[in-house]
């Protein structure tokens, strides 16, 4: 078992093995304790210790795997999923590249630009948001790209759930999950009791 920093994320899958989200260890403990974990993949990455039983004198502990699958996650909600829009994931989606001048910047020099400005009825959603350097965003101002004569270099898109998990920055566990699933086509993973 490797030592896991408690800030590391656990990859949560649905029962069919589709990635749902990254969760922290507290959420994983809650899922284990409520018997929601149906199977595990990957390594046991963290041991959470609890209190000592006055009957047995044993300290309770829960081993948390780096990848867990859980019950009761509907396919419909998976299909209809729209990930939350944050600057971090927006900048990752656009490869930290200004969608107006095409240059790549450090995060501190980037901003979120609304293609149709919020003041003109635009919404703060993936399809109306692009990464812009602060210079281009100021130059565009409260105008559309057409009004500012600043055409977009790429069309915005809504990331799929898997794309979003990669944008979230924990791709090593996602790649590991893909490897584990591909290698285990004829094996079943069962939770030990």
What are the sequence ranges of the domains in the chain? 10-80+161-183, 87-148
Q: What pLDDT does residue 73 have? A: 64
* DSSP strand pairing (59-70 vs 129-133): unpaired
Distance from C-alpha of 95 to C-alpha of 116, rounded to nearest angstrom: 21
Contact 134, 119 (CB under 8 A): no
* Per-residue pLDDT band at 184 (split at 50, 70, 90): very low
DSSP letters for 134-167: HHHHHHHTTS-HHHHT---SS---PPPHHHHHHH
Contact 40, 189 (CB under 8 A): yes
Q: What pLDDT does residue 175 have? A: 54
Main-chain phi, psi angles of 178, to 5 degrees = -60, -45
Distance from C-alpha of 89 to C-alpha of 109, rounded to nearest angstrom: 15
Q: Is 100 exposed, middle or buried (0-12, 13-18, 19+ CB in 10 A)?
A: buried
Residue 70, token pair as written in the block: 């859980």
Q: What pLDDT does residue 138 have? A: 97
pLDDT tens string 78-110: 567 788 999 999 998 999 999 999 999 999 999
Candidates 40, 77, 51; CA nearest to 173 is 40
How many percent of the chain have pLDDT more than 70?
Answer: 79
What mean pLDDT is predicted for residues 45-67?
Answer: 87
The per-residue pLDDT of the chain, averaged, comes to 82
pLDDT tens string 129-165: 999 999 999 999 999 999 999 999 999 999 888 788 7
Q: What pLDDT does residue 160 have? A: 83
Q: Which residues contact 19 (CB under 8 A, 6 or more apart)?
A: 11, 12, 13, 161, 162, 165, 174, 177
Q: What pLDDT does residue 75 have? A: 54
| pLDDT over 70 (residue 3) | no
Q: Which residues contact 72 (CB under 8 A, 6 or more apart)?
A: 36
Q: Is 19 exposed, middle or buried (0-12, 13-18, 19+ CB in 10 A)?
A: buried
Most confident of 4-13, 58-67, 125-134: 125-134
What mean pLDDT is predicted for residues 118-134?
Answer: 97
Q: Which CATH code fits 87-148?
A: 1.10.30.50
- What pairs with residue 104 in β-bridges? 97
């Amino acid at each position: 078992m490797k030592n896991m920093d408690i800030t590391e994320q656990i990859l949560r899958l649905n029962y069919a093995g589709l990635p749902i989200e990254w969760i922290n260890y507290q959420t994983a403990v809650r899922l284990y304790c409520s018997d929601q974990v149906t199977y595990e993949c990957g390594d046991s990455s963290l041991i959470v210790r609890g209190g000592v039983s006055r009957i047995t004198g044993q300290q309770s502990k829960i081993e948390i795997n780096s990848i867990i699958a859980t019950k009761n996650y509907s396919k419909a909600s998976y299909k209809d999923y729209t990930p939350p829009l944050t600057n971090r994931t927006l900048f990752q989606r656009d490869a930290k590249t200004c969608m107006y001048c095409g240059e790549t910047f450090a995060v501190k020099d980037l901003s979120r630009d609304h293609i149709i400005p919020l003041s003109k009825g635009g919404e703060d959603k993936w399809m109306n948001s692009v990464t812009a350097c602060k210079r281009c965003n100021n130059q565009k101002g409260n105008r559309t790209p057409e009004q500012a004569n600043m055409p977009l270099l790429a069309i915005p898109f809504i990331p799929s759930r898997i794309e979003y998990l990669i944008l979230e920055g924990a791709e090593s566990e996602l790649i590991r999950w893909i490897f584990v699933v591909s290698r285990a086509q004829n094996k079943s993973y069962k939770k030990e009791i």
